[in-house]
Every structure is written in C-alpha cells, then in structure tokens.
Amino acid sequence: MLQRLRSSLVVRVTFLIVTLSIVVIGLVGSALYNQLSNGVFKEKLNLSLADASSSASSTAFQIALSQFQDAPTSKVILADILSSPSSSADYSGRETAIFPIPNSGSNPSYRGTSNQLMESSIPADFRKLVRKSKNPHWIRTNINYIGGSSEKGLVIGQLLDVSTAGKYEIYTLFSLNQQSQTIALIRNSLWLTGLALTLLIGLIAWLVLRQLIAPVREAARIAEELTAGDLEQRMEVNGEDEIARLGYAFNEMAASLKQQILRLENLSRLQQRFVSDVSHELRTPLTTMRMAAQVLFDAKKEFEPALYRSAELLLSQIERFEGLLTDLLEVSRFDAEAAVMELAKVDLVELVKEAVDYVHPSLERIITVEVKKSDAGVEVPIWVDADKRRINRILRNLLTNALDHHEGKPIEVSVVETDNEVAVGVRDHGIGFNQKERAMLFDRFWRADPSRARTRGGTGLGLSISLEDAKLHQGTLEAWGVPGQGANFVLTLPKYAGGIIKSHPIELIPNSMRASGL
Amino acid sequence: MTSIMVVDDDQDLAEMLGIVLNGAGYEVDLVSRGDEVMDLFTAQNPDLVLLDVMLPGIDGVEVCKLIREKSMVPIVMLTAKGDTQDVVAGLEAGADDYMVKPFNPTELVARIKVRLRRSNNDLGSGLRIGNIEIDQIAHTIVRGKEVIPLTRLEFDLLVALAKEPGRVFTREALLSEVWGYRPATDTRLVNVHIQRLRSKVEADPENPEIILTVRGVGYKAGVPGSPS
C-alpha cells in the first residue's frame, strides 16, 4: 500500500481527498447531529417543564385543600398526586415523586413515588439544589425501576411551598426513550450518509484523476521510448486544454531532440569523415616524401657532410611528423568516439618485456621488471583481455616518459595480477613533478619543463592517448610524483572483457614515500 | 625481369614507387585509374600488383576482385587507413598483404620479395595435408581428382602447415613464416587468409578437417589421409 502511495499519483491524491472528506464530513455530521439532538431534547424539555409546573400547582392545590376539608385521607391524596394523569400520550412514562421537607409543617405521610420508581433515580445533589431554590430545576438522569429496568430520562424538581401545610420537594420524571430513538435514527442516517458520501467522493476523485493522469502516463511511456532511441514517438493531441498544451510541448521537445541528435550524429559523421579524408590526403604525400628521403638517406655516403646530415635530418623529421600525424589522428578518433577496441587474450608480462626491449634495447639494465602473480607463481604469463596495440602503446609511452626523466637512476616496473584486475606500475626516481604539474600531466601537448630538451622526440600526446586507451579498457591510469623524488605511473585494467576495476593492486603512492609522510 | 604493376592515382607517389622499385631491380608499370587496370593487366601479365585502395574509376577492393577472377598473382594493397574494415575488405577481396601509408620503403621492398619468392627449397612431392595432395613442383593441390586453384600466398600457407604436421603454429609464427614480418602485431591477415583458404580446400568450412584451429593458440595441419 505504501509502495502504491509512493508510485501512483492517482492513489496518493485519491487517498488524500478521501482522508480530507472524512474529516470534513465528520465535522459537519457531528455539528448537525448535535444541533438536531439538542433540538429534539429542548422541545421535550420545554413541554416537560410546562407539564411539571402545572402538575406541581395542582398538587399544591390538593395539599392545601386537604387542610380545610375533611376530605380524603392523606393516602388517597398521595395516590392522586402520584398518579395524576398526563395531559397527552407523549407523557406516558411520566413518573412523580414527592418528599415532604421535615420541620416545615409538612405532612410526612405525603411521601412517595409513583408505582415502581426507585428514589435513587433522583440524585441526592440535585435534591439539595432543589431544596435551596425556589425555581424549578432539571437534570438528565437514569430512571430506575424496582426490578432493575432503567431508561434514560429527565427529572424536573421544584420546592412546593404550601403555606398552610409546609414544604415539599416534588419531582416529575419524564422518559426520553422516544427522543433517544429519534436521535439514534438521526445518528444512523448521518453515519450512512457520511459513509456513502466518502465512498462516492473517493470514486469520483479516482475517476477524474485517472482521466487527468492518462495523458501524463502516456507522456511518460513515450518519453521512455524516446530515451530507448525511438525518435519517431509522438503524443496524441486532442483539443486545446492544458493537457493538449502538454502534448504539444512534449511533441515539440521530441522533435527538437530528434533534430539535435541528428545534427550531432551528422557532425560526428562529418568529423570522422574529415579525419579519414585528412588521413588519406596527408598520408599520400607523406609516403612520397618518406620514400624520397629514404632514397636520399640510402645514398648519403656519396654526399658531402652538410648534405649527408641534411638527408639524416630530413628522414628523422619525416618520421617524427609521421608519429605526430598518427597521434593526432588517434586523438581525433577518441574525440569522435570512433575508437574501436580489438580485444584478445594477451600476455601482459610478455608485452611489458617487449616494451622494455623496444624503448631500451641496450644491455645496460636501467629498467628492472618484477612480476607478482595472484597464485604466487612468477615469470609465467598474466593473461588479460585487452587490445594489444593500445596496451603496447601505453607501456611504451610510460617507459619512454620514465626514461626521459629518470636522471640516471633505476626504473622499476612491476606487473601484478589479482583475480579481477591486472596492473602495471612504472616507478622512476628522477626529477618527479609537483601537484600543479600533476594536474596537467595528461593534457595534450603539455610539457613538464619547456626549457628541457626533449631527448626522445615524443609528440606531446603520448600520456593523453595512454589515458584514453586505459579508459577505453574501463581501466585507470594514474600518476604520482614529488619533485626530486621521482614519479610513479600506475595502469590498472580489468582482467576480463567487460569487467570493472574493484581494487588497485598497485598503490599509487609508493610505500617508502608514504612512510616518510609525503 | 620481374615486373610489378603499380596502381595509384597519385602521380608523384607512383613515380616515387617506380624509383624505389627500379632501384630494387624490378620493372614497373604505372596505372593511375582503377578502370584501366584490367586491360593493362591482361597485356602485361605482371608478377605482382601494388594496388591503392582509393582509385578513380573503380576502387581498389573491386579491382582486386576483378584480378582474382583471372589470376592468382600476388596482390599487395596500399591503404591510407589502418582501419579494420578497409583492411579486412581488401584482404577478403583477395589481397595477399597490405601496407599502411606512410610505409617504410625498405619494408615494402622486403614484403614484395617475400611475395615473389618461389619456394624452391626442399621441393618434395607427396606432401599431404588432410586428404589433400600438394605438388610443390607443379604448384598445385589436388583433392581426389579435383585440382584446386590457390593463390601463391594460400599455397605457401598450406605448405607451411603441411611441412610440420605436428606443430601448432601461432598466428605470429605464420606471419613471419609466410608473410615475412618481424614485428608481428597484425594477426587479422592470418585470420582472413585462413578463412579464404578453408573456403577453398575444406569440404565443410564450418567443420575444418585440413586446417584445424587450436583454441587460444593458433592453427595446425589436419592428419593426412583422414576421411573427408
């Protein structure tokens, strides 16, 4: 239910409306009930007061009369008083009680209640009140009969001062049975009406809301389909009301989205096309230049020194240009999101060793490689699903970068495998870099120190491309460095295609550095 | 003298290729349009074709198909794109090898030499692979009584596998053996040609019996004389 309340606007609003209706109907119903029941009671009270007053007068008269005449005995008079007939049928269930007040000259034999009435029907407090006052009083009470039956009623009491025959309390009790029934009827009717109203309001709210919400639901459905890629989906629009305006606006949004997407797709296509054209147009003359340079270079022995050197420079610069072009095209392929992975199972250890040999073929071992396998074996393949060409490129870039900055100190390469990831760390102890430089390290064409001679002739795109390559594998490439303490580059890749990295087997900050608080 | 047909619409590049190949001792015919290739090809009957992918008239991949309908001459594609689909399209059209521009001319010459070399050493008849008989002198292969035409590269590939029946060849090993590569990074070349070869020699290319795949490693020769 709570779930439905949260997920469905119709259920929530209907629930709210019904709740509010119950409160309002409850308030109105109870006010109505009070008014009606008070009215019924008041009417009965007024009639009863009049009746009680007339019956008291006649009682006073009878008592007074009994003083002068040698008339009926006190018993007869008492019986007369107690059973004086009611003036109308409404007063059936009327009872009378009379109590002489001692020491007021009253005749104690005029004490009694009508047939089965128990004196306890008249509360003692009420009697005190009546004895002290000259005016009649009334109170609601339970009329108790001998034999245990009881009914709701009204008692009216007054002090009867018969100047010659002393004082009496006289009480007239009226049953409220009929009124109770009337009031119960009113109450039941109110309950029923309230319940029916609440249900009806709930039903109406539900129907109206459903009607209102239907286009919203439709819009949500269509929005989901748009998101899923069906750009042709549109809302049906009828009339000119707010819902229709929603429909129009929605359709316009969908149309504009479609236009934007098509425009971007077109731009991306244009971009890829441009890259491919540039690639072709630049590469053909470059090939010619390269061949011409090679022919010159091959014949360099016949040249005088200046020409000889020129031929050398020409070839090396064409090669550099070629590298730059390749990197630029690669970058633009990343930008166009047109980079394609060619995944295969490759041995990371083998790749690292190949890369080390490639960047540093000499016998002088500056670079050391350490392999840690999850199952404790060493010098065995570490298989990973990766694009060999890209991983090769990352490794060569990291190693070239380390060799550019190692300042003659050793470079440590570690290869680590866990169940889920593989990682390669390249740690040098060279010039390092500061925080500011670290932030720009992977920027295109950024150079750590412009005044520093480039020893390896990189393109300035290496680290940037490596980062993109790592991301393409769902991997990470991170860098740590401290000026004068060297740098650490860590490449972490998921071991299996489609996997994600859950841990980093190689710490970015080397242990020795963390211990010294750096 | 060995003649090479160079098909490229870029006059300067074609001329430069001519200079380099002449320097390496080959005779060179230059063609600049795709739709002119077939006439000259029939007339000159070159020993090898260097074919650019982007050509006016008919594109290089189509030209490659046209040549393959007539001849098993070695074809090396020249492509400005290293992109998979272009390379694979060229190889599937029947090219034996490809070079990505800008290429190293020394490497180009080396590759051309590999494609032109005749496997003259240890010629032996009776070399078998699966139920196929290879005649290295006549340069033909026979299945039953049916002679199956193969390109020189396909023949070399089959011979390489058949010569060492027990050996499992990695793709890299086949690359260096058949194509003469040193840095063996592009294994698509092997995959495409193995498929082409299978479609010619296997009774059922889906269930190969002559060239078997060794999962995760490479390929090996099927057992000679096994029923087909």
Are B13 and A288 an interchain contact pair (Cβ–Cβ within 8 Å)? yes
Which of A282, A291, A315, A340 should be substituted to probe chain B, the one whose Cβ sees the most B Cβ atoms within 10 Å? A291
A221: tokens are 């459905």
Domain ranges of chain B: 3-116, 127-221
B226 lies within 8 A of chain A by CB: no
Q: Who among A285, A294, A340 is closest to B106 (CB)?
A: A294
Q: For A299, which residue in chain B has the nearest alpha carbon? A: B23
Domains and CATH numbers, chain A: 2-183 (3.30.450), 243-335 (1.10.287.130), 343-515 (3.30.565.10)
B127-221 belongs to CATH 1.10.10.10: yes
Mean pLDDT is highest, among A55-64, A193-202, B88-97, B154-163, for A193-202
Of B102, B122, B103, nearest in space to B111 by CA: B103
* Cα maximum dimension of chain B: 55
* CA of A469 vs chain B CAs: smallest distance (Å): 16
Burial classification of residue A184, based on how many CB atoms lie within 10 Å of its CB (0-12 exposed, 13-18 middle, 19 or more buried): exposed
> For B10-22, what is each residue's pLDDT tens digit?
899 999 999 999 9
Token pair recorded at residue A123: 């509360």
On whether the CB atoms of residues A116 and A82 are closer than 8 A, the answer is: no
The rounded percent of chain A whose pLDDT value lies above 70 is 90
Whether the predicted interface score ipTM is above 0.90: no
Percent of chain A at pLDDT above 90? 20
Indicate the residue of B20, B54, B84 with minimum beta-carbon distance to A280. Answer: B54
**Nearest-by-CA chain A residue for B80:** A280
8 Å CB contact of B105 and A291: yes
Structure confidence at residue A86 (pLDDT): 46
The residues, any chain, with a CB within 8 Å of residue B187's CB and separated by 6 or more, are A344, B171, B172, B175
Distances (CA, A) of A4 to A78, A286, B30: 74, 68, 78
- The alpha carbon dihedral of B184, B187, B189, B190 has a sign of positive
pLDDT tens digits along A222-263? 888 888 888 888 888 888 888 888 888 888 988 998 899 889
B10, B54, B105: residue with CB nearest A294? B105
Q: At A33, is the pLDDT very low, low, confident or very high (cuts 50, 70, 90)? A: very high
Q: Which residue has the tokens 């590298």?
A: A323
**Contacts of A208 by beta carbon, 8 Å cutoff, 6+ apart:** none
A318 vs A297: CA distance, rounded Å: 12
Tell me if chain A has a CB within 8 Å of the CB of B18. Answer: no
Is there a contact between B81 and A280 if contact means CB atoms under 8 Å apart? Answer: yes
Cα angle B41, B45, B48; round to 5:
90
Mean pLDDT, range B101-105, rounded to an integer: 85
Please tell me if residue A279 touches chain B, with a CB cutoff of 8 Å. Answer: yes
**Per-residue pLDDT reduced to its tens digit, A140-185:** 888 888 888 888 888 998 888 877 777 888 888 888 888 888 889 9
Contacts of A291 in chain B (CB under 8 A): 13, 16-17, 19-20, 105
Å between A254 CA and nearest CA of chain B: 34
- DSSP 8-state class, residue A145: B
Asked whether the predicted pLDDT for residue A466 surpasses 90, the reply is: yes
Cα-to-chain-centroid distance, residue A34: 44
Phi, psi of B61 (to 5 degrees): -65, -40
CA-based nearest residue in chain B for residue A383: B216
Nearest CA in chain A to B53: A280
Furthest-apart CA pair in chain A: how many Å? Answer: 177
* Nearest chain A Cα distance for residue B61, angstroms: 16
- At position A127, the amino acid (one-letter code) is R
Distance from CA of B129 to the nearest CA of A (A): 29
Radius of gyration of chain A (CA): 54
Mutate to test the interface with B, among A283, A322, A346 (most CBs of B within 10 A): A283
What distance in Å separates residue B212's CA from the closest CA in chain A?
19
H-helix or E-strand spanning residue A39: helix A9-68
Least confident of A40-44, A113-117, A460-464, B121-125: B121-125
Q: Which of A280, A294, A322 sits opposite B80 (nearest CB)?
A: A280
Beta strand pairing call for A137-144 and A150-162: antiparallel
Considering only the beta carbons, identify the residue of B54, B102, B106 that sits closest to A286: B102
CATH of domain B3-116: 3.40.50.2300
Of B13, B81, B103, the CB nearest to A279: B81
* B8, B13, B191: best to mutate for the A interface, most A CBs within 10 A: B13
Angle at B157 between CA B154 and CA B163, to 5 degrees: 135
What is the CA A511 to chain-centroid distance, rounded? Answer: 43
Which DSSP string do the residues of A161-177 spell out, in sequence order? EETTTEEEEEEEEEE-H
CA distance B2 to B26: 6
User: Any chain A CB within 8 A of the CB of B183?
Assistant: no
How far is the C-alpha of A406 from the C-alpha of A400, rounded, in Å?
Answer: 10
- At B27-68, the pLDDT tens digits run 999 999 988 999 999 998 899 999 988 888 888 899 999 998
